[in-house]
Amino acid sequence: MTQATLPYTIRVGAGEPALVFVHGFGCSHADWQAQLVHFAPTHSAIACDLRGHGATPGQPAECSIETYGADVAELLRALDLSKAVLVGHSMGCRVVLQAARDAPGRVAGIVLVVGWAAAHLYYYNMLVDMEFNAQEAWAQVETQWQRRYNIQHNVTQLVLEYARLEVVDMDDVF
């Protein structure tokens, strides 16, 4: 595997838990601007550019879920974050799952936004690798799928719910 690289990062605010936003394929940290603005008064809010995206250089051979995940895990270590909530969008869902696997002691929660099918299959494989039997692993995936399927796809509301943060009036956010 390619050595971990620190991605280009924007960090605003202060407070726990830190929220780390990871974009999807072909996107950048700029996709999270509304969430950075919203959470800055109460939390450390961080958005990064994965290799080959935005302001982070990268070669095609370096661009894999494993490499991206290692880079985000290294970012958590470099920023000395413990108990961060990782928020992934689309391909970023698989990236944050890999980062959580690479740095489990630094992750308190994960929010997956619009990446359900790929992320659930990845989550299932991760649970099986962690020695859950296949039936237990699939039951965990089904529980998570049912819970998320019934939630409105509002990024800020998802972060609030899964990070167990204060719920706000969404009209004040957007």
Residue at 17: amino acid letter: P
8-116 CATH, one of 1.10.10.10, 3.40.50.1820, 3.40.50.2300, 1.10.357.10: 3.40.50.1820
Hey, where are the domains in the chain? Answer: 8-116
Q: Model's pTM, two decimal places?
A: 0.69
pLDDT of residue 172: 40
Sorting pLDDT into bands at 50, 70 and 90, what band is 109?
A: confident
Q: Dump pLDDT digits (tens) for 43-96.
A: 999 999 999 998 888 888 888 999 999 999 999 999 999 889 999 988 898 899
* Distances, alpha carbon 42 to alpha carbons 39, 65, 132, in Å: 6, 30, 37
Residue at 85: amino acid letter: V
User: 116 pLDDT exceeds 90?
Assistant: no
pLDDT of residue 110: 85
> What is the three-class DSSP state of 160?
helix
User: 139 pLDDT exceeds 60?
Assistant: no
Strand order in the sheet with 45-49: 8-12, 45-49, 19-22, 84-89, 107-113
